[in-house]
Each structure stands twice: as structure tokens, then as C-alpha cells.
Structure 1
């Protein structure tokens, strides 16, 4: 069991450090669709609130936000990173929260990624690439 945990940790570490496309599980959580969703309820509250915003809809790329597997703890250095996810279409998502082992994005973002098939598909394996934060409209 310990060996499996170490391998999983190493695999995640290589995923989070890679700038090259990697396969990643993507699903949705309607929590990230809430226009008045409170950033204080996310793992990245302190960093994101430095931007002077407190609600999800105040972020420049709302509702293309969510949790990312790279964020494993509060105020991670991966908070606010931007990810290009590609499946049927490509989208850019701001990482605002933990995504244990997967990207958890808004339903609207998932529909954009899957050509409006988010609910019927539930989860997909997409290509994920960390890109510059400017692609998500953030200036961290």
C-alpha cells in the first residue's frame, strides 16, 4: 500500500511540473457555476482575494474555473494557474481549488469542453496543459 501511495505521489508530482500535455480526468461540479460563489470557500482563498475579488463571477474567466489535481493543499503554489483542457473543444480553466486526482470544473465549462455532453458523459479523459495565467485573464 505504501509503495502505491509513493508511486501515485510521484505520478502527480510529474503531472504538476509538466508543461507538456498530459491525460487528465475531468468532471464537473456545479459549485463552480454559482455567480455568487464565495472564493473564501476554496483552497486558494488567500491568493485569489489578493486580486480584490470575493465572488466567482468577479473572476475574468468565470465560469471557466474549478479544482485542479496540482492543488493538494490550501494556498498551493498552483493556486491561480491556468490550464488548457482539450477534449472535443479546448478551453482555459483557472485553478481555484483542490481537485483530488482530477479537474473539477463548472458545468458550463464542462459543456464547452464536451460539446454540451457534460451530464451524459459525467467524466472524460482530456488533455491538460499548464499555460500562462494570461490565457485565463489573471494577473497574479
Structure 2
């Protein structure tokens, strides 16, 4: 039983660092209104906290989108800054990503952002493995 508990704890610890990043064209529109995402208004919303109105107002645009840490509207995790790291045959690439919406179990960004990470292969790969680390909000210009 102790071995099972130890193995389970190790599995949870290691999965905390690996995540998936997919894409949705909704996040590609710089003039897209923040009123349509979970982090719109409310005490924790990006409109309220920073005065942002559109996706393009966010300093990390196009690296914005949904995150698994945001369960819904007005989450205290709205605006969390992540370093998302992707490694492939061309090397290791890290972006700073601002969480603006609920992402379900994964991270979701625009196709253009995923293209920048995958050398134009977003449509072909669909979803990539990334390592996600919460970093200081100043890394995202907030």
C-alpha cells in the first residue's frame, strides 16, 4: 500500500509540470472582446484590473488563451502568467502566456500563436506537449 501511495504521489508530482497546448481561432483576433471570456469583468477580470478591452490590449498577445487553472468567470487565477516551454527537433522554445479564459483540462491559444511555436505546424500537430510554469506577472507585462 505504501508503494502504491508513493507511486501515486510521484505520478501526480510529475504530471503537474507537463500539459497540453491546443488552438482555437477565437484567440487570434486582436480586436476580440474580453467580454466573451471568463476573465472579463468582475473583481478578478482583466477589464476591471487592467482596463484591457480586447485580446490585443494584453501585452503577451498573441500568447493568450484558456488555461486549466481557470474554472470559470471571475476566477482569482485570471491573468496568471505562465512560461510554456515546447521542445522539438529545432530546439526548445519558451513563450510567456497570459491566462484569460477557462481552458478545460489543457491550455488553449490561437492558431497563430501555436504556429509561432511549431514553425507553422499548428494545423498539422493540433496539440503539443508543453511544460507549464507559473511565473511573475511582470514576465507577461502585467
Where 1:87 maps in the other structure, the secondary structure is strand
**Of 10, 28, 40, the match for 1:45:** 40
Q: 1:55 corresponds to which residue?
A: 54
- What TM-score, normalized by structure 1, do the two folds share? 0.81
- What TM-score, normalized by structure 2, do the two folds share? 0.79
Q: Does the Cα contact within 8 Å between 1:85 and 1:113 map onto a contact in 2?
A: no
How far apart in 2 are the matches of 1:114 and 1:87?
8
How far apart in 2 are the matches of 1:137 and 1:121?
29
**Residues 1:119 and 2:118 aligned together:** no
Bigger Rg, which one: 2
Equivalent positions of 1:4-83 (< 5 A) are 15=16, 22-46=17-41, 47-50=45-48, 51-83=50-82
**Residues 1:136 and 2:137 aligned together:** no
Q: Does the Cα contact within 8 Å between 1:24 and 1:127 map onto a contact in 2?
A: yes
Aligned length: 121
Aligned-residue offset at 1:124: 1.1
Give unpaired runs (5+ residues) of structure 1.
1-10, 16-21
| Backbone CA RMSD of aligned residues | 1.7
Q: In the TM superposition, what whole-angstrom CA distance separates every residue of 1:36-93 from its partner, at most 9, and x where no partner exists?
A: 1010100000110021121111111111100000001211111000111111311111
Give unpaired runs (5+ residues) of structure 2.
1-11, 88-92
Q: 2:99 corresponds to which residue?
A: 95
